[in-house]
Amino acid sequence: MQRIAKKFAELKEKGSKALVAYLTAGYPDLETTRNLVLALDGAGVDVLEMGIPFSDPTADGPAIQKASQEALRGGTTLSRVLHLLRDLRKSTEIPTILFSYYNPVFVYGNRRFTREAAAAGADGVLVVDLPLEEAAELKNFTDEAGLALIPLVAPTTGAERIGRIAREASGFIYYVSLTGVTGTGIPVLEELRENVGRIKSKTELPVVAGFGISTPAQAREIAAAADGVVVGSAFIRLIAEKGNGGGVAEAVGAMAKSLKDALT
């Protein structure tokens, strides 16, 4: 969690905004994921979301669904993702969020998962389908392990609920900038500004916006209202285009750099 707070403090001091990049661990394979993380770090990405592949990723669009399926077919498991992160910590200090649905975490065991995640070098956890009312059973263990539990706020979330989410949040708050699934639409800028403002009135934590952001121009516009942006499907589509042959890490790094340059 300290890496997250330190990174956002550094960005605030510089007057810059965060680029949060999502990768599906194990897509197209774990060794390529390792190379992609290092390329993102080298390109200036501020925070990494490492997606744990799941068989029914209901909040994700076609690109990430396909990536999850291929990663699972390739033998990627939660245990192997933690091993990858532990190995990456020999080479990078990029703040890293483990992005998951609750089923893999629940099956692994909340205490075991949080302890092993912290030991591997994770800084936080984001569980897409764990609502506020049910989050306490995991939050007890993330708090104990020193991990941030990152909440989601949607365009449809009411003011009272935003306040309750904000009181329980740690690390940062992820604003889902459109209804629907990832990578299938473009956020409405005026609506985003209004909703991010509602969240920021309830918390001192950074607020980052994700879903539907894929170009430097979009990232620049949206970051004007938020503390950072999340880009996921655009990276996954580029990886699908390049495959696991030569040049995929370089291509992903180049995309990340263009996005980061737009936020500086």
* Residues labelled catalytic: 49, 60
Chain mean position to CA 9: 18
Identity (one letter) of the amino acid at 216? P
Say which DSSP state 230 is in.
Answer: E
How far apart CA 248 and CA 54 sit, in angstroms, is 23
Neighbours of 264 (CB within 10 A): 12
How far apart CA 199 and CA 167 sit, in angstroms, is 11
Rounded to 10 degrees, the C-alpha dihedral 97/170/154/235 comes to -20
Instruction: Give the H/E segment covering residue 2.
Output: helix 2-14
Task: Report helix angle 233-242 to 62-73, nearest 10.
Answer: 60
Per DSSP, the chain holds a count of helices (H) and strands (E) of 12, 9
* 50: β partners: 23, 98
How far apart CA 239 and CA 241 sit, in angstroms, is 5
